[in-house]
């Protein structure tokens, strides 16, 4: 029964319908940004970073990170890419800030510490739209969203960047372009979908975005076709970060004017400045092999075709803190004192 069903489906949706969903522990939390502010130490705001140990104030784009790195906080041991977003802070009524901790998503390997959930899908969650998916190349990088986005109109247009107010760890679907206005019992999920259409030439661009084109429609819906300017369909990379706000959900700690108390490390309490960065670093052709196969999620591991590592190995991967400043505990100001100009 199962075999004939599987064969029937395979005939309909050739060449493949692989999808990856996996956990990566926190690698580091510090003020560095090798894509947007390369070589600048410290960068303007704090990031939370996952992935391989080549992350640094700058990462030479001519280096093949997948060969140069030696460990990663991701469960797929050949993924030495780095992924990062801003960090969430709570602002107390008394004016001081404390970093909100991340917690591991549902259905990940036990023992993930903080970090994010990473997706590489094809056309949507379950299929690839019957098209070739081309893996990124060494040196590839991109960003989605901008730390300067400060209007709701702009935020609404960034369909890949959303929030879910988690009633439980499993809450999905109700997404907003701005921070939830009420306490969320299981925290706030920050969602980042990167664009997936590539111009076929440039590994990066001056704004780190124009070499890519977004045909996503939000969530894991079927994306539109790639335009002729950006004809190459790449994996749809998405991130989910589970911010555990429960320590701060007592409304007596919230602002007396009824506004919500969470700030991105960019000094933004609207949520519009949400952004994410991707620096490719899969080893050899491992990502292409996964995209060409028909495995789904965890079944892509244990050598089918990707190598898997355990949580202890993930959590043992560390980098130095290159920026000498506290990012945790009650802080009189956000690290670097960035200023977000509301429109
Ligand atoms: C990070 O950059 C510093 C300063 O340029 C350098 O000394 C160090 O070796 C780099 N670390 C890695 C892992 O590349
Ligand atoms: C603000 O509140 C926190 C939490 O109660 C406390 O630890 C901190 O000392 C307070 N800071 C100031 C400046 O009042
Ligand atoms: C969230 O934070 C609370 C309060 O600090 C803690 O008790 C709880 O274990 C955390 N939840 C998860 C899933 O980590």
- How many angstroms separate the Cα of 73 from the Cα of each of 41, 84, 254? 23, 13, 34
- Of residues 249, 84, 271, the one with CA closest to residue 175: 271
Per residue in 55-80, is it b (16+ CB within 10 Å) or e — as a string?
Answer: bbbebebeebbbeebebbbbbbbbbb
**For residues 128-136, average pLDDT:** 91
Q: Which of 56, 279, 318 most suits a substitution to test ligand 1, by most atoms within 8 Å of the C-beta?
A: 56
Contact by Cβ (8 Å): 110, 310: no
d(CA 13, CA 121): 15
pLDDT of residue 173: 86
* H-only helix segments in the chain: 2-13, 65-68, 152-157, 286-292, 311-316
Given a cut of 50, whether residue 121 has pLDDT beyond it is: yes
Residue 9's pLDDT band, with cuts at 50, 70 and 90, is very low
pLDDT of residue 95: 95
pLDDT of residue 129: 81
**For residues 89-113, average pLDDT:** 97
Mean pLDDT across the chain, nearest whole number? 94
Given a cut of 50, whether residue 4 has pLDDT beyond it is: no
The Å distance, Cα 38 to ligand 1 centre, comes to 13
pLDDT of residue 228: 98
Give the strand pairing for 116-121 and 82-86.
unpaired
Given a cut of 70, whether residue 3 has pLDDT beyond it is: no
Three-point CA angle 54, 55, 59, nearest 5°: 80
- How many angstroms separate the Cα of 115 from the Cα of each of 154, 231, 285, 287? 27, 32, 25, 21
pLDDT of residue 135: 98
- 295 Cβ partners below 8 Å, 6+ apart? 18, 304, 305
d(CA 242, CA 178): 16
Q: Is the CB of 253 under 6 A from ligand 2?
A: no
Cα 162 versus chain centre, distance: 12
Could you identify the residue written with the tokens 């140069």? 68
Nearest ligand 3 atom, CA 103: 14
Q: Is the CB of 330 under 6 A from ligand 2?
A: yes
* 259-280 per-position pLDDT tens digit: 999 999 999 999 999 999 999 9
d(CA 69, CA 296): 26
Task: Provide the percentage of residues in the chain whose pLDDT is more than 70.
Answer: 95
Given a cut of 50, whether residue 44 has pLDDT beyond it is: yes
* 142-158 per-position pLDDT tens digit: 999 999 999 999 999 99
List all residues whose CB is within 6 A of at least one atom of ligand 1: 54, 56-57
* 212-247 per-position pLDDT tens digit: 999 999 888 999 999 999 999 999 999 999 999 999
Given a cut of 60, whether residue 79 has pLDDT beyond it is: yes
Q: What is the largest CA-CA distance in the chain?
A: 64
Which of 9-18, 72-81, 120-129, 188-197 is least confident? 9-18
List, edge to edge, every strand of the sheet that includes 212-213.
Answer: 212-213, 197-198, 232-233
* 286-343 per-position pLDDT tens digit: 999 999 999 999 999 999 999 999 999 999 999 999 999 999 999 999 999 999 998 8
**For residues 174-201, average pLDDT:** 97
The Å distance, Cα 36 to ligand 2 centre, comes to 34
The Å distance, Cα 22 to ligand 3 centre, comes to 21
From the number of C-beta atoms within 10 Å of its C-beta (0-12, 13-18, 19+), residue 196 rates as: buried
Q: Which of 92, 93, 247, 328 most suits a substitution to test ligand 2, by most atoms within 8 Å of the C-beta?
A: 92
d(CA 243, CA 90): 11
For the record, the structure tokens of 140 come out as 């590839």
pLDDT of residue 127: 82
pLDDT of residue 325: 97
Q: Which residue has the higher pLDDT, 35 or 130?
A: 35
pLDDT of residue 6: 39
Residue 11's pLDDT band, with cuts at 50, 70 and 90, is very low
């Amino acid at each position: 029964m199962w075999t004939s069903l599987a064969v029937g489906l395979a005939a309909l949706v050739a060449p493949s319908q692989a999808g990856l969903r996996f956990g990566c522990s926190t690698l580091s939390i510090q003020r560095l940004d090798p894509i947007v502010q390369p070589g600048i130490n410290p960068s303007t705001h704090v990031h939370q970073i996952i992935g391989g140990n080549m992350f640094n104030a700058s990462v030479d784009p001519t280096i093949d990170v997948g060969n140069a790195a030696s460990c990663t906080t991701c469960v797929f041991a050949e993924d030495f890419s780095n992924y990062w977003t801003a960090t969430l802070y709570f602002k107390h009524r008394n004016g001081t800030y404390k970093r909100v901790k991340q917690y591991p998503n549902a259905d990940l390997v036990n023992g993930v510490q903080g970090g994010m959930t990473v997706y590489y899908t094809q056309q949507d969650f379950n299929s690839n739209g019957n098209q070739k998916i081309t893996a990124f190349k060494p040196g590839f990088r991109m960003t989605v969203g901008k730390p300067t986005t400060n209007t709701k109109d702009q935020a609404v247009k960034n369909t890949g960047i959303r929030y879910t107010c988690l009633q439980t760890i499993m809450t999905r679907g109700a997404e907003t372009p701005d921070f939830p206005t009420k306490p969320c019992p299981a925290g706030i999920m920050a969602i980042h979908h990167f664009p997936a259409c590539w111009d076929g030439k440039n590994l990066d661009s001056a704004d780190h975005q124009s070499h890519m084109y977004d045909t996503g429609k939000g969530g894991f819906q079927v994306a539109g076709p790639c335009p002729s300017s950006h004809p190459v369909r790449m994996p749809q990379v998405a991130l989910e970060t589970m911010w555990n706000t429960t320590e701060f959900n007592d409304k007596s700690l919230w602002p007396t004017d009824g506004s919500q108390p969470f700030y991105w490390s960019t000094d933004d309490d609207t949520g519009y400045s949400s952004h994410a960065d991707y620096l490719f670093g899969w080893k050899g052709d491992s990502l292409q092999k996964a995209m060409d196969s028909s495995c789904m999620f965890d079944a892509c591991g244990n050598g089918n075709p990707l190598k898997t590592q355990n949580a202890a190995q993930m959590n043992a991967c560390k980098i130095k803190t290159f920026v000498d400043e506290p990012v945790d505990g009650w802080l009189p100001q956000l690290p670097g004192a960035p200023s977000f100009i509301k429109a």
